[in-house]
Amino acid sequence: MGKLVIVGTVAFDAIETPFGKTDKILGGAATFIGLAASQFEVDSAVVSVVGGDFPNEYLELLESKSMDISGVEVVPHGKTFFWSGRYHNDMNSRDTLATELNVLADFKPVVPENFKDADYVMLGNLHPNVQLGVLEQMEKKPKLVVLDTMNFWMDNTWDELMEVIKKVDVITINDEEARQLTGEHSLKVAARKIQEMGPTYVVIKKGEHGALLFNGGNAFFAPALPLEEVFDPTGAGDTFAGGFIGYLASVDNVTFESMKNAIIYGSTLASFCVEKFGTERMKHLSANEVRKRLQEFKKLTQFEIELT
Contact call for residue 294 and a second copy (CB under 8 A): yes
Other CB atoms within a 10 A radius of the CB of residue 186 amount to 11
- Stretch binding a second copy (CB under 8 A), from 25-33, 48-56, 118-126, 207-215: 207-215
Contact call for residue 300 and a second copy (CB under 8 A): yes
- Stretch binding a second copy (CB under 8 A), from 9-17, 101-109, 148-156, 219-227: 219-227
Compute the least distance from the CB of residue 228 to a second copy, in Å.
5
Cβ–Cβ under 8 Å, residues 67 and 35:
no
Contact call for residue 283 and a second copy (CB under 8 A): no
Cβ–Cβ under 8 Å, residues 250 and 262:
no
* Whole-number Å distance between alpha carbons of 2 and 186: 35
Which residue in 185, 216, 255, 284 binds a second copy (CB under 8 A)? Answer: 185
Which residue in 89, 140, 141, 183 binds a second copy (CB under 8 A)? Answer: 89
Q: Is 15 helix (H, G, I), strand (E, B) or coil?
A: strand
DSSP helix, strand, coil percent of the chain (3-state; round to 5): 40, 25, 35
Long-range contacts: 102-105, Cβ < 8 Å, 24+?
A: 102/51, 102/78, 103/49, 103/50, 103/51, 103/73, 103/75, 103/78, 103/79, 104/9, 104/49
Per the document, the length of the chain is 308
Q: For residues 130-159, which are near a second copy according to CB under 8 A? A: none
Toward a second copy, which CB reaches closer, 123 or 178? 178
Contact call for residue 299 and a second copy (CB under 8 A): yes
Which residue in 93, 108, 159, 303 binds a second copy (CB under 8 A)? Answer: 303
x/- mask, a second copy, residues 224-263, rule CB under 8 A, reads: --xxxxx--------------------------x--xx--
Which residue in 74, 219, 252, 253 binds a second copy (CB under 8 A)? Answer: 219
Cβ–Cβ under 8 Å, residues 272 and 293:
yes
In 169-307, which ranges are E strands? 170-174, 201-205, 211-215, 218-222
The catalytic residue among 68, 175, 238, 252 is: 238
In the residue annotation, 238 being an active-site residue is answered as: yes
Residues with active-site annotation: 238
Q: Interface with a second copy by CB under 8 A: which residues?
A: 89-91, 185-189, 206, 209-210, 212, 214, 218-221, 223, 226-230, 257, 260-261, 264, 291, 294-295, 298-305, 307-308
